[in-house]
Structure 1
Amino acid sequence: MTLRAGAATPAPGPPKTGTWWGRITRVLTLAFFAAVAWFIVRYARTVEWARVWEALIGTPGQVLAGAAALTACSFALISCFDLLGRHYTGHQVPALKVFKVNFISYAFNLNLGAIVGGIAFRFRMYSQLGLDNGTIGRVMSLSMLTNWLGYLLLGGVAFLLWPLALPPEWNVQASELRWLGAVLVALALAYIALCMWSPRRSFMLRGHELLLPPRRMVPLQLVMSCGNWMIMGAIIWLLLQGQAPYPAVLNVLLVAAMAGVITHVPAGLGVLEAVFIALLAHRVPEWQLIAALLGYRALYYIAPLMLATLLYLWFEARTTRPRPPRTP
């Protein structure tokens, strides 16, 4: 679903902090963040950092090259998400420029958070390219929906077919994870059913009009999003060099992604590591796990951010360059 273009339609936002739901959300977020911080400090004191560094610099060159290639594939794929919005809205910004805007905003989104990267950068750049706020909102919301649609379906299937082997002290059964997987799949299927067969193409939700995308776009949304999440899991799995099975790594990545959204921590800093340590440390030595995650951050977060920064500076220089005065 996407927001209808127009000045009368307000942009979606977080719940108001004055409501009871807003207060509960803030308390739960702070509690989760505190738990993650405590977990990180506790483990940081026990980690053998010399072994972490040894494992990191000892990573074979072919592994790093493969992970770098997968990172490029992931960014190339997710940078096409806004092209769906271009086709849907019919705006005339060239496809290559849309690709660049998507790449820059995604890189900043990963490192600085959705508000700064996913929203502010998109509005800034698309506005300079001539799009109105309504069209930008529809492009952005369709891109975000595409990303999380794949998450729901892939995460649900992963929990159903390959439930995590959780640490024994957690006392969580595989059947409980399968129930969670069933709920995620049901949500994804409900959206797909609405898009494919609903006679209504718009719905009102808390004062916002939501539009369903064309039916033919749904399979493409699923393929692009699921493919990107699977590539991201493959990057970490490759850096772990077979120390854990791929389905388990993918499962943990999906859990870490949701934890990062809940805590609103920029770049999921510490959250990603805490979740992986909690769920895989009983299967993979901690120093190897941390070394792989540091390599993942360098390849998937820092390197694209450096490139995106250069591209953004170039974009600003090109779009804000003063025009020569017209001769009378």
Structure 2
Amino acid sequence: MNRAESQDAPAAAEHAPSRWQRLKKPLTALFFLLLIVLFTLLARRIDWSEVFDTLQDFKVRTLIIASTITVLSFLTYACFDLIGRTYIGQNLTWRQILPVGVISYAFNLNLSAWVGGIAMRYRLYSRLGVSKGNIAKILGLSLATNWFGYMLVAGAIFSSGLVHMPPGWKLSSTALQGVGLLLLLVSAGYLAACRFSSRREWSIRGVEINLPSLRMAVLQLALGALNWSLMAAVIFTLLPSTLDYPLVLGVLLISAIAGVITHIPAGLGVLEAVFVALLQHQASRGSLVAGLLAYRAIYFLLPLLITVAMYLVVEAKAKALRIEKKPS
């Protein structure tokens, strides 16, 4: 082999697809095929007449309560970005921040984090004159707020033993309690790092990350945990009254991880499968599915319709402003 060939060999090796890259697509296709089979089997075991009867029997008062809690949840999530404003030190008003958070959250829930959490935030914050670097910081802080809040509330619920896994599941109830303790330790570790760490700055792919103050970190965990709790409260309002709120919250937290693993937008089907699997011994499958369908309508679809209108208004105002500034 001559020198030119020996120099080209490493470069060719770098561009050659790895074994994992070659297997990733067929394994992903197989995984989704198994999900389709699972959901089909689940659908065949549901008494759909009971589902439709339960949906028709919902009281207006119940729907109003669920809708009100949904509004509180969306405002709570939008407050993640208010923390981000303080974090980056940008002079933006809450009237500018909250619509961005609400619109992004609705698109995030229905169309994936890439569309709502990332692309929508970049577009809307760019309209407000926020730099790409600061937008990335807001995104990172919002992500941390959501998942550290999750760890706090999930750690408390799982470690308490309120959620019992069905017999035969690979993860036992005792193991779930261990996971809960681990999540609490991670949450405490984050707070300790924010309080005691001497190093406060890191750079990841050119984006500077600053460790927040302890006060800001506590606020992150509180808001993140509150939002997950409000999500569960919406579901709890719509499910049979025989179920306890801590149990509903715990099952929601388990289903959230399943939704992240599958990467299905809005966790479509995953949420229902987990709730039915874990709660079918305490409530009928039909009543569970009916409550979750109502939850999707109130928490996912209705906010998406509203925020699409909000987004169109924002775009129209931005276009009008560009026309006014355009030299004649």
TM-score by length of structure 2 reads 0.88
Letter in 1 for 2:258: A
Q: Is the 8 A contact 1:52 1:287 kept in 2?
A: yes
Hey, what's the Cα distance between the residues in 2 that align with 1:253 and 1:259?
Answer: 10
Q: How far did residue 88 of structure 1 move?
A: 1.2
- Match of residue 69 from structure 2: 70
Task: Say if 1:128 and 1:204 are closer, same or farther in 2 by CA, change over 3 A.
Answer: closer
- Deviation (angstroms), 1:203: 3.6
Identity of aligned residues (%): 42
1:209 Cα offset (Å): 4.8
Show the counterpart of 1:323. Answer: 324
CA apart distance, 1:283: 1.6
> Residues 151 and 27 of structure 1: is their aligned pair in 2 closer, same or farther, counting only changes over 3 Å?
farther
Shift of 1:219: 1.4
Q: What corresponds to 1:239 in structure 2? A: 238
Gaps of 5+ in 2: 1-15
Contact 2:242 / 2:283 at 8 angstroms: preserved in 1?
yes
Question: Contact 1:162–1:248 (CA<8 Å) still a contact in 2?
Answer: no
Deviation at 1:19, TM superposition (A): 6.5
Q: What do the CA deviations read for 1:104-151 (whole angstroms, capped 9, x no partner)?
A: 010000000000110000001111111110010001110111011100
Q: CA deviation at 1:60?
A: 1.9
Aligned to 1:88: 87
**Residue 216 of structure 2 corresponds to which residue in structure 1?**
217
2:6 corresponds to:
none
Instruction: Tell me the residue number matched to 2:13.
Output: none
Q: Higher RCO, 1 or 2 (CA under 8 Å, sep at least 6)?
A: 1
**Kept in 2: contact 1:105–1:117 (CA 8 A):** yes
SS of equivalent residue, structure 2 residue 209: strand
Whether the 8 Å contact between 1:126 and 1:136 is mirrored in structure 2 is yes
Q: CA–CA distance in 2 between the matches of 1:237 and 1:231?
A: 10
The AA in structure 1 aligned to 2:313 is: W
Q: Which residue of 2 aligns with 1:141?
A: 140
Superposed, 1:87-126 pairs within 5 Å as 87-126=86-125
Structure number with higher helix proportion: 2
Post-superposition offset of 1:160:
0.3
Judged with a 3 Å threshold, the aligned counterparts in structure 2 of structure 1 residues 161 and 325 are, in CA distance, closer, same or farther, namely: closer
1:273 alignment partner AA: E
Judge conservation of contact 1:89–1:139 (CA < 8 Å) in 2.
yes
* 1:228/1:20 CA distance change after superposition, 3 Å: farther
Aligned residue runs from structure 1 range 294-309, under 5 A: 294-309=293-308
- What is the aligned partner in structure 2 of residue 47 from structure 1? 46
Question: Deviations for 1:62-86, whole angstroms, at most 9, x for unmatched residues?
Answer: 2111111111111111111101010
Cα distance, 1:261 vs structure 2: 1.1
1:167 CA drift (Å):
2.1
Bigger drift between 200-209 and 183-192 goes to: 200-209
Between the aligned partners of 1:59 and 1:151, the Cα distance in structure 2 is 30
Supply the RMSD in Å over aligned alpha carbons: 2.4
The CA distance in 2 between the partners of 1:297 and 1:202, in whole Å, is 40
4+ runs deviating over 4 angstroms: 17-32, 204-209, 324-327
Counterpart AA for 2:288: L
Amino acid at match of 2:289: I
Rounded Cα–Cα distance in structure 1 between residues aligned with 2:144 and 2:294: 29
CA deviation digits over 1:206-227, x for unaligned, max 9?
Answer: 8865321122201111111111
Contact 1:167 1:282 in 2 (8 A): no
Change (3 A) 1:33 1:193: farther
Summarize deviations over 1:133-188 as a string: whole Å, max 9, x none: 00100011101110111001111111100342222333653211111112211221
The answer as to whether partners of 1:29 and 1:263 remain within 8 angstroms in 2 is: no
| d(CA) in 2 for partners of 1:310, 1:164 | 40
Conservation of the 8 A alpha-carbon contact between 1:163 and 1:178: no
Residues 211, 233 of structure 1: alpha-carbon distance in 2 compared, 3 angstrom cutoff: same
Alpha-carbon spacing, 1:206–1:279, altered in 2? closer, same or farther (3 Å): farther
- Mapped to 1, the partners of 2:22 and 2:156 lie a distance apart of 33
Q: In the alignment, is the contact (CA less than 8 A) between 1:30 and 1:263 conserved in 2? A: no
**Structure 1 residues 237, 278: closer, same or farther in 2, change over 3 A?**
same
Contiguous gaps of at least 5 residues in structure 1: 1-16
